Copies of this chain bind each other. A is one copy, B any other.
Amino acid sequence: MGKDRLTAFSDGFFAIIITIMVLELRVPQGADWSALRAVAPSLVTYVLSFVYLAIYWNNHHHLLHTLTRVDGLILWANTHLLFLLSLVPAATAWLGNNFLASPPTALYGGTLLLPAIAYYLLQKAIIHRQGAHSILARALGRDIKGKISPLLYIAGIAIAFVSPWMSIAIYALVAVMWLIPDPRIERTLSDH
């Protein structure tokens, strides 16, 4: 019951954050193709952020599957994650308006880094409540992707001051790395 409402709220939140970014997608000023070209960077950042949020939604979906019970700790760990994800549209808009400038590129990396940490904490909170032998604990195993991603974000943030293109490439690389839904949880779940 509580879990259903948490899921519904999170789903609504994801759907809204993703689509809020459409609103930030700049409408071309003027009726010709050059006006369209001027908003191309805004479209590139939109695509990247859309893929990121879709990945979070997808993995969050698998994560909540493993929940057996919702309490205050998990509720707030989840709200913390959603809060940090809600900063992504504004960072996307800033980067889209100032494509490849160092500060927006670095900040964008920061808004990818923070939810990654929050997601890690949410996993920890669920494992803390459900025990080291729970489905989730076994499914995650050593969680290599979860540990490498923050390092890559930090690298991307640092590199933004040298070569913003490289940062964007790193952020895109992490997205590709996560694009496959987490087979560990799916496999462990289907073993039951």
Contact = CB atoms under 8 A, between A and B. Distances in A.
Interface of A: 2, 5, 7-9, 11-20, 22-25, 27-28, 30-33, 35-36, 47, 50, 54, 57-58, 61, 72, 75-76, 79, 83, 86-87, 89-90, 93-94, 97-98, 101-104, 107, 179-181, 186
A84 to B, nearest CB: 10
Given A14-B9, A181-B75, A94 B20 contact: no
A54, A86, A87, A90, most chain B CB atoms within 10 A = A90
B72 A27 contact: no
A13 B20 contact: no
How many of these chains are in the complex? 4
Contacts of A58: 75, 79
Contacts of A17: 19, 22
25 contacts: A5-B7, A8-B8, A9-B11, A9-B57, A11-B12, A12-B15, A13-B19, A19-B20, A19-B86, A22-B86, A25-B90, A27-B90, A27-B97, A28-B94, A28-B104, A30-B98, A31-B97, A31-B101, A31-B103, A32-B103, A33-B103, A36-B107, A54-B79, A58-B79, A72-B180
A61 B18 CA distance: 21
B19 A9 contact: no
Nearest to A29: B97
Nearest to A104: B31
A180 B14 CA distance: 24
A67 B115 CA distance: 32
A34 to B, nearest CB: 9
A116 B104 CA distance: 35
Nearest to A7: B5
Nearest to A58: B75
